[in-house]
Chain A
Amino acid sequence: MNAFTEKVNKIDRRDAKLGMAHFYVAFIGLFLGGMAGLLQTLVRSGQFTLPAGIGYYQLLTLHGVVLALVMTTFFIMGFQFMAVSRTAGTLTNKQRKTAWVGFWLMTIGTVMAAVMILLSEASVLYTFYAPLQAHALFYVGLTLVIVGSWTGGGAIIMAYVGWRKKHPGQPSPLLTFMALVNTLMWIVATIGVASTVLFQLLPWSLGLVERVDVAISRTLFWYFGHPLVYFWLLPAYMAWYVIVPKIIGGKIFSDSLARLSFILFLLFSIPVGLHHQLVEPGIDPAWKFLQVILTFMVIVPSLMTAFSLFATFETFGRSQGATGLFGWLKKLPWGDARFLIPFIGMLSFIPGGAGGIINASNQMNQVVHNTIWVTGHFHLTVATAVILTFFGISYWLIPHLTGRILTKAMNKLAILQGILWAIGMTFMSGAMHAAGLLGAPRRSAFSEYGGAAQAAEWIPYQIAQAVGGSILFIAIILVIYIFINLAFFAPKGEEEFPVGEAANTAEKAPMILENWKLWLGIVVLLIAFAYTIPFIDLIENAPIGSKGYKLW
């Protein structure tokens, strides 16, 4: 294509290359991780043993690291670069170069971590809780992934600042604003995991120090671990708020409220990590409860999001002449994969969110903590709501970047993929939730627990999980097939990068929403409030540290 036919709202070719680099890694990760997932469900059914000395926990480490840490981060960085490039303008050479440096750092880090997992030097799962001790290169690899994502985040911040300088007094483009919020949240959050890896685990695995403080390491991990899930979710919300309205032909319900809800997520995602440590010793229950309250604050922006999505759908349906209470549902473009796949994701977020409320509530957590219920929960949220939205994005973004189109046939296949995912996940996640309530533990290979009657009750659910897992794997094959088609083989053409407009363009977003000194100041205050005393307690009462163990 020559410069002549290029339209203003088409992403620059050099930026497109940057995006595709991220997506290649993400989809390779998806395939490997999906394969591991399938094998896990088969092992757990009790009908299958892993060949050739592969360990179950080695596989599970691969699954968690590759899907939860690598695939998501690469997809999100790629998507955010493209969203910024599309709405705030082509990246400058300096920004693009910075982004590439970030990409290569993350890629090298990923390869290092993956090699250590494959060599069975790092079967510590994706949470790498001390005092299980992985090979130092595993920690170095993870550090590079984080540092790379900071570098990429730097490029996004530079692009935002550049835009604001050129447009004084104007609110930034909505997608750019959202990408920035997610980047800022990510940087603040990853400080926790970077601290434990760099200052505790790495020196300890290198033998420079003998012992590690386990409770502090876990608390730093979970300071990061909860915002991690919002780092996954907010890009999906970007699509739900801004892109899906355009796809259906409607409008964004309210630009300002969308921004406000992102700011609320920024404030309330981080000072809440203790809700993952509710049943741990060494932390005062009053502080746990305080963070539980802060956790529930995200219900406010979540309700705002749900309202605005369905308001967009209903307003659009009625503008097409729909009548009655639910007539507008019929007007939605059900045959369009770009809409349907994220929509299935939205639906799955309803039980997913409800499960999250259960998990985070002080007392009920004790019933489900570390049971397979939790795994069922996050396969609804991240592995359905988020990932299906990412697939939905890919079905127009990949062809947009490669100068191809999503054909009718591929659209059909994509719809089939979404439906298979919904069916497979209903089986797998449903059975995980049910078995979890009966007490079945997560992160566990098949076991009859010495013939215990209770454990025997779990086995039928594990078989149901394997059925679900197999259906999900077929869906993953379809995704990969569609991805390869869109990247290399689909007919040339122009696929739109849909960006919605606000219903009320006259209303300008209040500039206070872009006052980062204010918002980051509040973020820091909230974190200090929620964490200072628990950390002082942990340090003052610290028991003797732990030596490393390699128990696999």
Chain B
Amino acid sequence: MHIHKFEKIWLIFGVATLLVFLSVIGVSAFYLGNQPPSCLATINPEQVDTQAPFDKPGLNKVEGKEWDYELVFVASAFNYTPGEVEVPLGAKVKVLATTKDVVHGFNVAGTNINMMLEPGYISEFVTTFDKPGEFLIVCNEYCGAGHHLMSSMIKVVE
């Protein structure tokens, strides 16, 4: 099979770029810890309200962990509990969320806090809230007739 000289150059250049690119995202993921939310913990979706930490939705201070607070959300068609929450500026927070019924999304709009909530699973993501202001949480996975009405609000305050 004959490959034109220019095509060889083009492919070598392309593959080299690709390797650099994959190394960058690999280092970011495995060395810097920028992994997508991939929590493996499970939960009985029919008993969410009675199981820790989902029996206490909202912002809870924690001690002796890598983060200062746990921000707990329970999703069900078509709302989040809490419907609004204040977070102190600069707080390092572990966001934990799950759903009681169908699949929902959990996206703090315009940020990289973006995860799927699936019945039976817990989703979590650790982040630092370093910008003050109001951040809208939207459900970004279709969950039924009221899907576009499903939202919450994080207020990052000093």
A contacts, CB < 8 Å to B: 55-57, 123, 125, 129, 131-132, 214-215, 218, 253-254, 256-257, 260, 277-285, 288-289, 292-293, 296, 299-300, 303-304, 307-308, 311, 357, 361-363, 365-367, 369-371, 437-447, 449-450, 452-455, 504, 507, 509-510, 537, 541-546, 549, 551-552
> For residue A256, which residues in chain B have a CB less than 8 angstroms away from its CB?
1-2
How far does the Cβ of A138 sit from chain B's closest Cβ, in whole Å? Answer: 15
How far does the Cβ of B11 sit from chain A's closest Cβ, in whole Å? Answer: 6
How far does the Cβ of A504 sit from chain B's closest Cβ, in whole Å? Answer: 7
Taking CB atoms and an 8 Å cut-off, the chain B residues in 100-158 that contact chain A are: 101-103, 105, 107-112, 114-123, 134-136, 138-149, 151, 153
CB of A132 within 8 A of CB of B144, answer yes
Task: Say whether B65 faces chain A, with CB atoms less than 8 Å apart.
Answer: no
Q: Bound state CA distance, A55 and B149, in angstroms? A: 14
> For residue B6, which residues in chain A have a CB less than 8 angstroms away from its CB?
307, 311
- Listed by A's residue number, 11 A-B pairs whose Cβ atoms lie within 8 Å are A257-B7, A281-B38, A281-B118, A304-B7, A304-B11, A371-B140, A438-B109, A439-B108, A441-B109, A441-B138, A455-B109
Q: Bound state CA distance, A299 and B13, in angstroms? A: 12
Closest to B110 in A: A439
From A218, A277, A544, give the contact of B44 (CB < 8 A). A544
How far does the Cβ of B101 sit from chain A's closest Cβ, in whole Å? Answer: 6
Q: In this complex, which of A55, A357, A450, A537 has the most chain B Cβ atoms within 10 angstroms of its Cβ?
A: A450
Q: Bound state CA distance, A437 and B14, in angstroms? A: 27
Q: Bound state CA distance, A56 and B148, in angstroms? A: 10
Task: Say whether B45 faces chain A, with CB atoms less than 8 Å apart.
Answer: yes
From A215, A277, A445, A552, give the contact of B120 (CB < 8 A). A215
How far does the Cβ of B148 sit from chain A's closest Cβ, in whole Å? Answer: 4
Q: Bound state CA distance, A129 and B120, in angstroms? A: 15
> For residue A442, which residues in chain B have a CB less than 8 angstroms away from its CB?
140
From A131, A289, A455, give the contact of B102 (CB < 8 A). A131
CB of A551 within 8 A of CB of B77, answer yes
CB of A129 within 8 A of CB of B103, answer yes
Instruction: Report the count of interface residues on B (CB-CB < 8 A).
Output: 69
Q: Bound state CA distance, A307 and B5, in angstroms? A: 12
CB of A281 within 8 A of CB of B145, answer no
Q: Bound state CA distance, A218 and B14, in angstroms? A: 33
> For residue B153, which residues in chain A have a CB less than 8 angstroms away from its CB?
450, 452
How far does the Cβ of A353 sit from chain B's closest Cβ, in whole Å? Answer: 12
CB of B36 within 8 A of CB of A362, answer yes
> For residue B10, which residues in chain A have a CB less than 8 angstroms away from its CB?
303, 307
CB of A543 within 8 A of CB of B43, answer yes
CB of A541 within 8 A of CB of B42, answer yes
Taking CB atoms and an 8 Å cut-off, the chain B residues in 36-80 that contact chain A are: 36-46, 77
> For residue A366, which residues in chain B have a CB less than 8 angstroms away from its CB?
36-37, 112, 114
CB of B110 within 8 A of CB of A446, answer no
Task: Say whether B26 faces chain A, with CB atoms less than 8 Å apart.
Answer: yes
Closest to B14 in A: A303
CB of B35 within 8 A of CB of A285, answer yes
> For residue A307, which residues in chain B have a CB less than 8 angstroms away from its CB?
6-7, 10-11
From A280, A444, A453, give the contact of B118 (CB < 8 A). A280
Q: In this complex, which of A55, A123, A289, A455 has the most chain B Cβ atoms within 10 angstroms of its Cβ?
A: A289
Task: Say whether B91 faces chain A, with CB atoms less than 8 Å apart.
Answer: no
CB of B148 within 8 A of CB of A447, answer yes
Closest to A508 in B: B1
CB of B36 within 8 A of CB of A131, answer no
From A296, A546, A549, give the contact of B21 (CB < 8 A). A296
CB of A279 within 8 A of CB of B116, answer yes
If the complex has contacts A131-B119, A300-B14, are A281 and B140 also in contact, measured as CB distance less than 8 A? no
> For residue B25, which residues in chain A have a CB less than 8 angstroms away from its CB?
289, 292, 361-363
If the complex has contacts A363-B34, A510-B1, are A551 and B110 also in contact, measured as CB distance less than 8 A? no
Q: Bound state CA distance, A242 and B29, in angstroms? A: 41
Given A129-B103, A369-B140, A546-B119, 10 further pairs, Cβ under 8 A? A129-B102, A129-B142, A282-B40, A283-B38, A304-B7, A445-B148, A449-B149, A545-B120, A546-B102, A551-B101
Q: Bound state CA distance, A442 and B118, in angstroms? A: 18
> For residue B120, which residues in chain A have a CB less than 8 angstroms away from its CB?
214-215, 542-546
> For residue A55, which residues in chain B have a CB less than 8 angstroms away from its CB?
145
Q: Bound state CA distance, A455 and B35, in angstroms? A: 28
How far does the Cβ of B116 sit from chain A's closest Cβ, in whole Å? Answer: 5
Q: In this complex, which of A55, A282, A552 has the most chain B Cβ atoms within 10 angstroms of its Cβ?
A: A282
How far does the Cβ of A367 sit from chain B's closest Cβ, in whole Å? Answer: 5
> For residue A362, which residues in chain B have a CB less than 8 angstroms away from its CB?
25, 28-29, 34-36
> For residue A552, which residues in chain B have a CB less than 8 angstroms away from its CB?
144-145
How far does the Cβ of B121 sit from chain A's closest Cβ, in whole Å? Answer: 4
How far does the Cβ of B138 sit from chain A's closest Cβ, in whole Å? Answer: 5
From A367, A446, A537, A545, give the contact of B112 (CB < 8 A). A367
CB of A441 within 8 A of CB of B139, answer yes
